[in-house]
Amino acid sequence: MIPAFEEKTYICSEFYSLFDMQEEFDPQSGELDDLVDRFDEMIRHNKMYFFDVEEFEDIIDFYLERHNSKRAQAAIDHALRQHPSSSAFLLRKAQYFADNNKLSRSLEILQKLEILEPHNPDVYLTKGAVYSKLKKINQAVEAYHKAIEYSDEKDDIYTRIAFEYEELNDYDKAIKYLNKALEYNPENQAVLYELSFCYELAGREDESVDFFLSFLDKYPYSDIAWFNLGIAYSNLGLYEKAIDAYEFVVAITPDFSSAYFNKANALANLEKYEEAIEMYNESLQYEEPDAYTYLYIGECYEKLDNPAKAFENYRLSSKLNPDLPDAWMGMGSVHDKNGHEVAAVKFYMKALELDGENTENWLAIGDAYYRYDRMEEAKAAFRKAMETDPMHPDVWLDYSAMYAEEEAYGEAIDIIIQGIEKQPVNAELYYRLSGYLLKKGKTKEALHNFEIALQLSYEGFQMLFEYYPELAQNAELLNLIELYKPLS
């Protein structure tokens, strides 16, 4: 009913602002406030005050950071009038144009600035950001490489290059450049999170474990590295090792709430639900109440056959996030198990209002309608599940099973055949089809499909016997199982 317990992660793969490259200043400082107020007064009263180059830079950056385009443009224009020889304001103008999606005009200025200031990394950083907006990834990467030649903040630029390759789904290259970033700044926590993310998307979880173990050999007190090692172990289903990693996190940083949350998920995946609940509650000591925390606590209580506590936590989850369909599905599930048909349907339908494309929910509701003997509604729910995700194997298995349980094997066979057309290498569908065919008395066809299934997944024949235990005594099936038995 509820999705598998999922880790909290921190993914920072967002493009840098075009203006992050500017020198940082304190926007709350009284000096800056006075400076901005003085400039605003000049604009309001149409006066002319003098500002030096650094003052104008701070004023312009103040407005650019806040995406106040009108004031930023005014400040740039006044700065260029008072200091026409300062190329710094041309750069700000290029950034202003880029921020307002006037990208060709931005590039025109940047081409001039390359000649005026060929060693200024901010010119190439801005150019790279503009090309990134234009989805010209190769040109963006080229500009960033040029910036590296003249910048001391190489980890920042290598990270930008990694983001470009992420846009291309080239996670191997992204990993390469994130590693380069760490060589220059091993304390860059954002890079560690991004590496974890990229290793996962690249399907290189084993390498992710190796990387973080190696990193921790050099930096054993990096809570972020331990945290991401825990995520890597969880992705591999190594929950005991994940728990050990998360325990190192909280030993280093006792208020690291997400480590408690992820440890709870690992415990839940090990079916240690009482310990998981305790750890979810521990995470709430260090962070604001979270809808997913209460959702997962509710699921743990549901697994422990404590419907009252399950419903209470699902309700808390829905209060924190009324748009979370899983919370409503959870409340519906509790009512369903307690035999409260009307209430269960009410909550299920609320979940569907919020997310009408969730295949798992349609399957759960279809199953509920079938048990309530509301056959037409059950069929409609299963058909909707087929429409939302025809590649979901349970769609065809569950829908056909509804007919098979009514001994309407012809309809069950038709549905499974539709599933095989969508998923021609799904062995379970062939096994189920062979079972239906045997029940229908079509032995030859059944054995043919059983042979196909054995070739696709030999061990899978147990799935058929779990569904129809009596077929485990069928001599013809047993002969085929022996015939296709692997030599090893």
Q: Which amino acid is at 469?
A: P
Return d(Cα 218, Cα 462) in angstroms, integer.
Answer: 48
- Predicted model pTM: 0.79
State the Cα–Cα distance between residues 422 and 391, nearest whole angstrom: 7
Return the amino acid letter for 429: L
Q: Is 31 exposed, middle or buried (0-12, 13-18, 19+ CB in 10 A)?
A: exposed
Tens digit of each residue's pLDDT, the chain (488 residues): 444 567 766 544 444 444 454 444 454 556 887 888 888 888 887 878 888 888 888 888 898 888 887 888 888 888 888 887 778 888 888 888 888 889 999 999 899 999 999 999 999 999 999 999 999 999 999 999 999 999 988 999 999 999 999 999 999 999 999 999 999 999 999 999 999 999 999 999 999 999 999 999 999 999 999 999 999 999 999 999 999 999 999 999 999 999 999 999 999 999 999 999 999 999 999 999 999 999 999 999 999 999 999 999 999 999 999 999 999 999 999 999 999 999 999 999 999 999 999 999 999 999 999 999 999 999 999 999 999 999 998 999 999 999 999 999 999 999 999 999 999 999 999 999 999 999 999 999 999 999 999 999 999 999 999 999 999 999 999 999 999 998 76
Instruction: For residue 283, give both structure tokens.
Output: 């995470």
Provide the strand spans (E) within 154-216.
none
If DSSP states are collapsed to H, E and C, what string results for 126-168?
HHHHHHHHCCCHHHHHHHHHHHHHHCCCHHHHHHHHHHHHHHC
- 209 neighbors 233 (Cβ within 8 angstroms): yes
Contact 29, 62 (CB under 8 A): no
**Number of neighbours of residue 180 by Cβ within 10 angstroms:** 18
User: What does the alpha-carbon distance between residue 309 and residue 133 come to, in Å, rounded to a whole number?
Assistant: 49
* Residue 51 exposure: Cα atoms within 13 Å on the Cβ side: 27
**What is each CA distance from 215 to 141, 212, 222, 380, in whole angstroms?**
27, 5, 9, 53
Residue 116: φ, ψ to 5°: -70, -40
The two structure tokens encoding residue 464: 């058929």
* The CATH number of the domain covering residues in 1-151: 1.25.40.10
Which of 128, 126, 144, 125 lies closest to 136 in space, CA to CA?
A: 128
Helices (H) and strands (E) in the chain, counts: 27, 0
The number of C-alpha atoms within 13 Å of 320 and in the hemisphere containing its C-beta is 16
Measured between alpha carbons, how far is 456 from 430 in angstroms, rounded to an integer? 9
**Token couple for 379:** 């069929």
Angle between helix axes 121-133 and 87-99 (nearest 10 degrees) is 20
Residues 6+ apart with CB under 8 A from 216: 222, 225, 226, 229
CB 174 within 8 A of CB 204: no
- Report yes or no: 437 and 445 within 8 Å, Cβ to Cβ: yes
Burial of residue 343 (CB within 10 Å: 0-12, 13-18, 19+) is middle
Cα–Cα–Cα angle for 385, 386, 389, rounded to 5 degrees = 80
Question: SS3 of 3, please?
Answer: coil
Q: Residue 120: phi, psi to the nearest 5?
A: -90, 110
C-alpha span between 193 and 199 (Å, rounded): 10
The pLDDT value given to residue 15: 41
- The alpha-carbon radius of gyration of the chain (Å, integer) is 30
**Would you state the pLDDT for residue 98?**
87
